[in-house]
Amino acid sequence: MNIEQYGWNDEWKNKWTEKLQQLEARILEPGRIVGDFGSKYRVIASTGEIWGELSGKLRHTLTGSGDYPAVGDWVALAMQDGGEHAVIHGVMPRRSVISRKVAGVTQEEQIVASNVDTLFLVSALNDDFNVRRMERYLIMAWNSGANPVILLTKADLCADAAEKIAEMQRAAPGVAVHAVSALLGDGREELLPYIGRGQTVALTGSSGCGKSTMVNWLSGQNLQLTQDIREGDSRGRHTTTHRELFVLPDGGIIVDTPGMRELQLWEDDGGLDLAFGDISSLAADCRFSDCRHVREEGCAVLEAVASGVLDEKRLLNYRKTQKELQFQNSKEVKQKRKTVAATSKSTPPRAKGNSWQRVLEEY
């Protein structure tokens, strides 16, 4: 295997060349993170797949979990022991970033995957099916810069698949929705445009929705372990324990991720308005520009609910998520102020800036 099979192309070569022109007398090679195992990474480089770890200086200058390399990242490597392993000295600027807030009360960003072209949002057509939850996943997807596509798996288990597909399409205007069955082999041809040579796709969804099964099905081999769901509630068991990237027979690259028990959104970069585009369009006709769509007179959104054009549950989820993101943003601002204040006191000026700047300053 070589890095071209993992998505290395002229676009990345040009970015790499631009950065290397600023370096002197230090030999670095490009590589891509294909597996995240905590303190160490699996990296594809010119010598093949090897183990890599962060340089001590880079690790010291990383201020948050979102700065660390993630699966899908292109990184700068210093090869060691004849190419047997490598030291990671920097992360190239990301083209897309799929992230969420870490579980719990900690204000930290968790990178799910980076440099992804298409994000498959996976939901099974059993008790896992949840339109409101998918609306949250769509916000994350639109914020990432990747193209969202909804996959409804286990279509063979659903007697009313057409009805559920239509319901999901109403909740995700403009987003492609595909129902597939790995057991019966149905729907694979619909996914081929997303997994062509050099294209990177990632899978995300709740535990037991069939992500690892999809990886095995699309690859034609058992790359990932799978487990049956619980009979009582169709809840899944955590099979995938870390993020990992694989090359598919059609030339595409696919990232499998651990299932999410809950999705806590990290920040909003326009994803809320895109995920709820119908509400945003209706809001343009509200009498007041700052309409909250609660009890205001002349609210076009409330009128749409009253007339049956807009599902009231969708509006309620929009309000709930909007408040959550506003609250999350206020906490992020406070946390960033604290981090900046602490950094300015303890970190020399040369250690600031993005990870590429750190590479340039290091040499």
DSSP assignment of 129-141: --HHHHHHHHHHH
Q: Which two tokens stand for residue 134?
A: 């998918």
- pLDDT for position 353: 46
Distance (Å, rounded) from C-alpha 289 to C-alpha 266? 26
List Cβ neighbours of 309 (8 Å cut-off, separation of 6 or more): none
- pLDDT for position 191: 94
Distance (Å, rounded) from C-alpha 205 to C-alpha 122? 5
- pLDDT for position 64: 80
Of 145, 203, 148, the C-alpha closest to 173 is: 148
- Read off the pTM: 0.81
> How confident is the prediction for the chain on average, in pLDDT?
83
Q: Which two tokens stand for residue 227?
A: 């487990």
Residue 246 near residue 32 (C-beta atoms within 8 A): no
- pLDDT for position 238: 44
- pLDDT for position 231: 44
Report phi then psi at 362, rounded to 5: -70, -30
Query: Cβ of 27: how many Cβ atoms within 10 Å?
Result: 9
- pLDDT for position 332: 58
Residue 91 near residue 16 (C-beta atoms within 8 A): no
pLDDT digits (tens, 9 = 90+) for 142-164: 999 999 999 999 888 888 889 99
- pLDDT for position 1: 73
- pLDDT for position 128: 81
Distance (Å, rounded) from C-alpha 289 to C-alpha 296? 11
- pLDDT for position 345: 55
Paired strand residues for 31: 75
Specify burial of residue 222 (Cβ count, 10 A radius: 0-12, 13-18, 19+).
exposed
Using 70 as the pLDDT threshold, list the residues of the chain that sit under it. Answer: 19, 21-26, 103-106, 223-242, 259-262, 264, 266, 330-363
- pLDDT for position 166: 94
Positive or negative torsion for Cα 36, 177, 6, 66: negative
Residue 218 near residue 191 (C-beta atoms within 8 A): yes
